[in-house]
Amino acid sequence: MSNDKLTLALQKKGRLSDGSIELLKLCGIKVSNGGNHLKAVAEGFPLEILLLRDDDIPQYVADGVADIGILGMNEVLEKKKDVEVVRNLGFSKCRLSVAVPKTVEYTGRNFLQGKRIATSYPVILEDFLAENNIQAEIHSISGSVEIAPSIGLADAIFEIVSSGGTLLSNGLREVDIIMRSEAVLISNPNLSELKKKLLSKLLFRIEAVQKAKHNKYILLNAPESKLSEIISLIPGMKSPTVLPLAEKGWCSLHSVISEDDFWEVIDNLKDAGAEGILVVPIEKMVV
């Protein structure tokens, strides 16, 4: 592990890996294809990449073999290693849920009392059961958890759910969402000052990408008589940019609006007299 670079642990392959590589790309960091190797080369930032199983990442970061890592919050909670969650990343979203056979009536969490539950997340499940004063038999399975009820191994399962298709194909239905998870950036709590500075620079890039993703750049034409009203609807990062148009009595406004408020703002702008509204994606946003 280099002292003048950050070592980042990533999932070797899969949806989480793809999302991580895409985030780094948007941050100006190109990662070469590691193939079957455990390391990959990064360009555009002082970074070394380790390609690992996602459930091994917490241990590598806690031990200092890797300085930082990207993985699901579910794995952080399951492994309970000495790492710090630095930032939520907003991709690879899923949920940990209880599922039962379609023909079984789920009467609430009390249904689990005395039942057999199959899972690949026994630590999170044990904590959940303890918090709800439920006594149940936990069957820890490393894979193919969904088949457990059909072969008589369990009465219910506790497992990761994304679309729910795997549950349906195994005759199960999701009945209780216990927690929601997404990709997070974790760090070793004992980084050197140099590596803390490098991590801060990386977080700056990530923040710029995330803010751009959740905001839109908007351009519109507005009559000067309606300018104050329209400005009140789109305050922007500080205030909108206002430029005179060639046509007398009209201005062009440039600003930024949140993705969450997008349609409501657009409707209000039209009602206030705005015309020629253009909305453009933002690649990076530094404030």
Q: Which domains does the chain have, with CATH numbers?
A: 6-90+183-212 (3.40.190.10), 94-181 (3.40.190.10), 215-281 (3.30.70.120)
What confidence tens digit (pLDDT) does each residue in 88-110 have? 999 999 999 999 999 999 999 99
For residue 41, the one-letter residue type is V
Provide the 10 A C-beta neighbour count for residue 73.
Answer: 21
Closest C-alpha among 255, 261, 222, 253 to residue 237: 255
Closest C-alpha among 108, 109, 99 to residue 159: 99
Is the model's pLDDT at 228 over the cut of 70?
Answer: yes
Q: Which residue has the higher pLDDT, 175 or 143?
A: 175
Residue 68: beta bridge partners?
8, 187
Q: How far apart are CA 18 and CA 92, in angstroms?
A: 9
Q: How far apart are CA 63 and CA 189, in angstroms?
A: 10
Q: What is the mean pLDDT of the chain?
A: 92
Cα distances (Å, whole numbers) of residue 6 to 33, 91, 201, 209: 19, 22, 11, 20
Q: What is the model's pTM?
A: 0.85
Cα distances (Å, whole numbers) of residue 267 to 214, 230, 241, 270: 19, 12, 20, 5
